[in-house]
Each structure stands twice: as C-alpha cells, then as structure tokens.
Amino acid sequence: RTAIVLFTRDLRTHDNPALASACANAETVVPLFVLDPKLQQLSPNRARFLHQSLADLRESLRARGGDLVVREGDPVAETIRLAGEVEADGVALTQDVSAYARRREQQLQEECERHRISLKLFPGTNILSPGDVRPGGGGAYYKVFSPYYRSWESAKWRDEVATPRKITLPPDVNVGNLPAPPAGESPDAVDGGETEGRRRLKTWLGHLGPYDELHDDMPADGTSRLSAYLRFGCLSPLAVANAAREKNGPGSAAFVRQLCWRDFYYQVTYSFPRISTTAYRESGDREWRNDPDALQHWKDGLTGVPVVDAGMRQLMAEGWMHNRARLITAAFLTKHLDLDWREGVKWFFRWLNDGDVANNSGNWQWVAGTGNDTKPYRRFNPIRQGERFDPDGEYVRRYVPELKSVRGKAVHQPWRLPDTVRSGLDYPGPLESHRDEAVWLRP
Ligand code: FAD
C-alpha cells in the first residue's frame, strides 16, 4: 500500500498526525508539496520563509529515508497525477480553515472519490480544531473569547503523535527540485523551518517564566516570536502548548492563553470566511476617510508619532511586530486617522512572516471595532501607550534612529522638545489627525 502525504501548512515531521498515520499504515509513503501558482501571491517575506521551511522539511524526511516530492501546478490535479504514477491508494492531508484551503479539500475529496483513492483528513493546524468545542444553546462556534477560553482550556486535547522513524519511498519517484530561494524583503527576518523553530522553542521555554509580566513590555522583547513557525506549521501548536504547560506558573498560563486566541480566530474564520474583507459587525464599519497621503505616512513609519513609527519600521525590518505595537499602530490607523482597517490588513499581510487570514483579520477587526468580540469605543492614546509600555523610550530609539539622541521618555513627544533641539532632529512633526480629540498631538 502506498500513501501520499500532501503537505500544505504543516511543514514538520514532529506531531504531524497526517504523516504519522501514513507511515504507520502504508508500506511506502510519498511526502508531497505542490507549488501552487497561487503561492506567487505570497509576500516576498513569506515566500522566503516557506522556501526555507520546505528545504528543512526535505532534509528531515531524507534523514528518515524519505524525501519531499515537489511538483508545480494545481495541488489537486498534481496529487491525483502523482497518485497515478506511484499507484497510491490513499492521501493524507492536514485540515485547514481558510476558504481557499477548504475549497481545495472539497475538490480533493471529489477527485479522490472519482479515482477510488481514500482521502483522510487530520488535525494539526490548531490545538482544538473548529467545532471541537461549541457553545451551549446550539451555537455553531464561539463569538466571544472568554467562554471559548474556558471550554478550550478544560477540553481534552488530542495526544501528540510520535515522529516517524523511517519513511520508505516507492522506487523510482521523481522527486523534483525546489526553485531558487527567494530573497524576502525584511533584512532582519527570522529563518524558516522546523529545525530552527524547535531550536527557538527550546530557548523560549527557558525564558517563559516572566511572560505574564513581560509580554507587553516592548523593549524587553519578552514574547516567544514563534508565530511564523506556528503559521507555517513548522511547530505543532499542541506540542508548543504542552511544553509550556509542563513549565507551570503564571507565565506559562498567560502564554497558553495567547495560543488560545489563535484557535479562537481560526474557529471564527471557519464559520465567517470573509473575515479579511467584510466587517463582522456591520454597524461598526463606518465611512472611513480616504486620505492616501496619511496612509502612506503610516505605511512608511513617518507619522511623526514615534511609537507608531517604531512599530511600522520594526514590521518592515523584521517581518514581525511586537503585539503591543500592532495594537498601537492599528488603533492609530483606524481610530485616529480614521482610515479603513482593510488597508491595514493588506499592509500587515504584505510584511508579516506570521501573516495569516484568521489572526491578521481577526485582530484588525478587534482593534477597528468591527469584530465579533470587540469594544467599538475602545481607543488607544499612542503617547500614553508608549510611555507605559516603553517607559524609557528604548523601543522607539531602537527602530527610529533619527531620535537616537533624545533621552528617556521625552522621545515619545519630540514636538515638546525645545525648538533648538527639535530643529536638529531629522524627524517629521506629528501627522494631523482630523479628530478633535487628537489635541494631544499638538505642541
Ligand atoms: P507570543 O506573545 O509569544 O504568543 C504566542 C503565540 O500565541 C503567538 O505566536 C501566536 O500564535 C498566538 N497569539 C498571541 N497573540 C495572539 C492574538 N492576539 N491573536 C491570535 N493569536 C495570538 N498573529 C499572527 O499569528 N498572525 C497575524 O497575521 C497577526 N496579525 C495581527 C494584527 C494585529 C492588528 C494585531 C493587533 C495582532 C496580530 N497578531 C497576529 C497577533 C499577535 O500580535 C501575534 O501573534 C504575536 O505578536 C506574535 O508574536 P509572538 O510569537 O512573540 O507571540
């Protein structure tokens, strides 16, 4: 018996139920990744991360006697074609939630049926898959985080599966090559791959203790930075959560709770697939202003509000942004500049290595006040946020070198510096917001 394991965004050998099951039940196994032409729409940063992750996966599979077969084209057609070539009778696939992934699953199901191949779907993208816990009263999914978290935390999670020791490829499979590695756009972005992800996880577990106190502290950089590895499935979210739970303590609990937010938005997206373009709560979707100039300043990190600019520049430099900075910059775009959250979704999506439909759009809608679990009138004053979460201005100076010479928290309001000092800084004055409340921006 021969099984194909169609990899998508589960680019790992550890705790991969689809791979483990195929290896346990078939004599020969063909790990496959199809370079879908749609992947050309992937941002340069994520294309680079994906490529590195595939190269690493191939090495890990080779170390176990297998390989990664790489094909180009439509994933469904290529899987069926390969199944014909190697006479496979089964295909294993990790389930995913996006509308695109679910259409692909559906098409694969139909084609497999037509060709009398059995398709098996496996969990692994999340800790709990959409639908694993449901609200009482017959709701299909949770719209509010707190009750979801309570059910999620007390639910029985599946057991982790072992990494296959040996993978036997059928003879004479044409494995195909990976294309040349893409360059990416962010000079300081992390490298992709399961090996790198697991190395970082190990280091992180040693720093997890004070996470509950440090996760909002922007200069401390006290978060895991594992998001991109989770995004591409280089790390199993279940394995990450289990490893963190073993550490016990408030840091571990706070960290596992963040992983729950990830599952939460996935189960929302499963039921509300238009999340990146359509307001969940239509009443929160205002007439947004059209101001291309302000939008461009925000994108470039040149709003003149230092903590906002620091976040936006971190995004471009690292393909990642601290969560607190994501909140501040997103609130600045939507609540102060009054510009459409969809513009923010697109810009973040272009740069973030961890960018994904569910988490990016879910969080943007949360900030903009259009989301399912949101407080529409919540506002963030970026100056107060900066002074609270970057009290000495270290984070700002790290990413806005024009302000390097300004000491302490004064860096958050350069417009209040004496004229003689201010005129020596090559840094713009604050972007005027149209809102009256924005008087805090004025000198
Ligand atoms: P940690 O603090 O170490 O958290 C551990 C893990 O929990 C993260 O890796 C992530 O998988 C998950 N997590 C943490 N916070 C959230 C959250 N608020 N929502 C969902 N999952 C969370 N996260 C993404 O993974 N992809 C995105 O595209 C994305 N876009 C965002 C856009 C905006 C406007 C905002 C406010 C937040 C966004 N987030 C997104 C959530 C969060 O900012 C990142 O997950 C986090 O900063 C990643 O860094 P970390 O791995 O060090 O997180």
pLDDT tops 60 at residue 311: yes
Q: Ligand 1 centroid vs 235 CA: distance in angstroms?
A: 15
Q: pLDDT by residue (tens digit) across 84-93? A: 999 999 999 9
Q: Ligand 1 centroid vs 39 CA: distance in angstroms?
A: 22
Q: Who wins on pLDDT, 138 or 170?
A: 170
Model confidence at 435, in pLDDT bands (50, 70, 90)?
low
Q: How far is 155 from 151, CA to CA, in rounded Å? A: 6
Distance between start and end Cα atoms, the chain: 74
The pLDDT of residue 108 is: 98
Structural domains present in the chain: 2-124 (3.40.50.620), 194-271 (1.25.40.80), 282-441 (1.10.579.10)
For ligand 1, is residue 223 a contact (CB within 6 Å)? Answer: yes
**Using CA positions, which residue lies closest to atom 17 of ligand 1?**
261
The pLDDT of residue 375 is: 74
Confidence (pTM)? 0.97
334: nearest Cα among 384, 303, 371, 379: 379
301: nearest Cα among 327, 333, 338: 333
Kindly write down the DSSP assignment for every residue of 308-348, as one continuous string.
HHHHHHHHHHHS---HHHHHHHHHIIIIIS-B-HHHHHHHH
For ligand 1, is residue 269 a contact (CB within 6 Å)? Answer: no
Ligand 1, atom nearest to 204 Cα: 3
Structure-token pair, residue 243: 């490893």
Q: pLDDT by residue (tens digit) across 214-268? A: 999 999 999 999 999 999 999 999 999 999 999 999 999 999 999 999 999 999 9
Main-chain phi, psi angles of 293, to 5 degrees: -70, -45
**Using CA positions, which residue lies closest to atom 49 of ligand 1?**
225
Q: Helices then strands (H, E): number in the chain?
A: 18, 5
For the sheet with 90-94, list strands across it: 69-72, 28-35, 2-7, 90-94, 118-122
Ligand 1, atom nearest to 237 Cα: 11
396, 399, 400, 404 alpha-carbon torsion, rounded to 10°: 70
For ligand 1, is residue 13 a contact (CB within 6 Å)? Answer: no
The pLDDT of residue 442 is: 46
Q: Ligand 1 centroid vs 172 CA: distance in angstroms?
A: 43
pLDDT tops 70 at residue 438: no
